[in-house]
Amino acid sequence: MRLSRYFLPLLKETPSDATVASHRYMLRAGMIKQNSAGIYTWLPLGHKVLKKIEQIVREEQNKAGAIEMLMPTIQSAELWKETGRFDAYGPEMLRITDRHDREMLYGPTNEDMITDVFRSFVRSYKDLPKMLYHIQWKFRDERRPRFGVMRGREFLMKDTYSFDLTKEDAVKSYNKMFAAYLNTFARLGIKAVPMKADTGPIGGDLSHEFVILAESGESEVFCHRDLVEMDPPGDVDFEGDLSHIFKERTSLYAATEEMHDAEEFAKIPEDKQLSARGIEVGHIFYFGDKYSAPMKATVMDSDGKPQTAMMGSYGIGVSRLVGGIIEASHDENGIIWPKSVTPFGAGVMNLKPGHDESDAVSEDIYNKLVAAGVDPLLDDEKGSIGVKFSRMDLIGLPFQIAVGPRGLKDGSVEVKDRATGEKQNMTPDEAVDLVMKAYA
């Protein structure tokens, strides 16, 4: 993409209500525009990152055996009344009435609706287990929306729902999602620690939050330091026994503020105790028959007797992750994107548009990176060199290739690694090779 043809509305000044790094940089880098409290338009740069995160989440869900579908944003209140949640959920639910005076709502979550889907079509234990998921916009009418997309009212979420015949089988599904989440967050370039958590309004007796450690985190978390450095499971057999992955993580102390046990935490060797601020980016629950029982979601077992399905739900805040990644990866100059979700693979800066050699070399580098599938951004606009460099730092592309007459006198261009700040002078072909190898 050529910058001269792109839509990148940068802000010079930080809005006064942007108090955390992700909110500041997403506004300044032209990723989002606020429409009303907690509701944002996703501009091209932000949308590219959002879709990359969504695709990684989708791929890891598919590997775990979950099946994608799509449920509507507007739900009938009747389903929520069956489970007793319509009145119990609270003011965060946006309740609406259609022209026929039917009670509706803008879905904050989908346990009730997916249970209705299940009971409508699944009849036999032979059809179990099943894991169904969708990636859909949600709405929760937060009293104080803040921190940009970190705590907005409208947000994009992946939620998976598992259905099993027994609790033992349901725990196997839980372990699948547990492992899938570890791999997902690793691919996104972040370290998310699973922590014992409160089940909240979703319900159940088994629950873990996946938490990124960041200074701007909403609440305090406590864990064994080794959990932060553990490698993801990687290539696992999702049809096999994954309990060892679950046990390896949960055998070490990790808890959110609500579930913290100071006495247990004190038993950890002092050099291994870690207390920090955390950002929740995923939450998984096993809640048994909390929804299936009142909604009569049953299947026939091998003896021909009806059995209530055992359920779990598993959420990942896709839009929240955009902010979470920035909170975990930025500096005073701007965003530092992991290569897996960067909006563009590299930035090529023509430092002097109109200069024949600078134009030719910039175009050649750009075209070679396009051919290699790197998806570069070519800064072909006229302007000061300082503005070009600060713009590239702000939007956080992993590699910056600066092409100008001074370096070309020696046949070289400057390549900057955004994460480390390291700069190297090399030939244009060497610069192309370096970037291509980074994405190989």
Calpha distance 345→319 (Å, rounded): 20
- Quote the radius of gyration of the chain (alpha carbons, Å): 24
Token reading at 357:
């050699």
Segment 78-99 mean pLDDT: 94
Q: Do strands 103-106 and 154-164 pair parallel, antiparallel, or not at all (unpaired)?
A: unpaired
Per-residue pLDDT band for 268 (boundaries 50, 70, 90) equals very high
pLDDT(200) > 80: no
pLDDT at 209: 93
Calpha distance 212→215 (Å, rounded): 10
CA 112 to chain centre: 24
pLDDT(240) > 70: yes
pLDDT at 199: 62
* Closest-CA residue to 149 (of 232, 32, 270, 303): 32
pLDDT at 257: 87
Say which CATH superfamily domain 3-335 falls into.
Bira Bifunctional Protein; Domain 2 (3.30.930.10)
Which one-letter DSSP state was computed for residue 261?
A: -
Per-residue pLDDT band for 59 (boundaries 50, 70, 90) equals very high
Pair 233, 183: CB distance under 8 Å: yes
Query: CA dist 358 to 366, 411, 415, 416, Å?
Result: 12, 11, 15, 18
Q: What is the pLDDT of residues 371-421, one digit of tens each?
A: 999 999 999 999 999 999 999 999 999 999 999 999 999 999 999 999 999
Calpha distance 427→238 (Å, rounded): 46
Pair 183, 60: CB distance under 8 Å: yes
Per-residue pLDDT band for 311 (boundaries 50, 70, 90) equals very high
Segment 423-435 mean pLDDT: 97
Percent of the chain with pLDDT over 90: 90
SS (H, E, C) 293-346: CCCCCEEECCCCCEEECEEEEEEEEHHHHHHHHHHHCEECCEECCCCCCCCCCC
Calpha distance 329→342 (Å, rounded): 12
pLDDT(201) > 60: no
Q: Which residues contact 307 (CB under 8 A, 6 or more apart)?
A: 125, 165, 298, 299, 300, 301
Segment 196-200 mean pLDDT: 72
Q: What is the pLDDT of residues 278-299, one digit of tens each?
A: 999 999 999 999 999 999 999 9
Tell me the whole-structure pTM to 2 decimals: 0.95
Per-residue pLDDT band for 202 (boundaries 50, 70, 90) equals low
**CATH 3.20.20.70 is the classification of domain 347-438:** no
pLDDT(204) > 80: no
pLDDT at 149: 94
pLDDT at 1: 96
| Beta-carbon count within 10 A of 225 CB | 13
pLDDT at 215: 83
Which one-letter DSSP state was computed for residue 211?
A: E
Domain ranges of the chain: 3-335, 347-438
List b or e across 419-431, with b for residues whose CB sees 16 or more CB atoms inside 10 angstroms: beeeeeebebeeb
Q: State the chain's mean pLDDT as an integer.
A: 95
Per-residue pLDDT band for 198 (boundaries 50, 70, 90) equals confident
Pair 258, 198: CB distance under 8 Å: yes
Q: For the chain, what's the residue count?
A: 440
Pair 212, 190: CB distance under 8 Å: yes
Render 151-163 in DSSP notation, one character per residue: B-SEEEEEEEEEE
Q: What is the pLDDT of residues 120-157, one digit of tens each?
A: 999 999 999 999 999 999 999 998 888 899 889 999 99
pLDDT(16) > 60: yes
Query: CA dist 79 to 82, 106, 201, 352, 407, Å?
Result: 5, 13, 16, 62, 67
Token reading at 79:
């389903």
Percent of the chain with pLDDT over 70: 98
Segment 21-39 mean pLDDT: 95
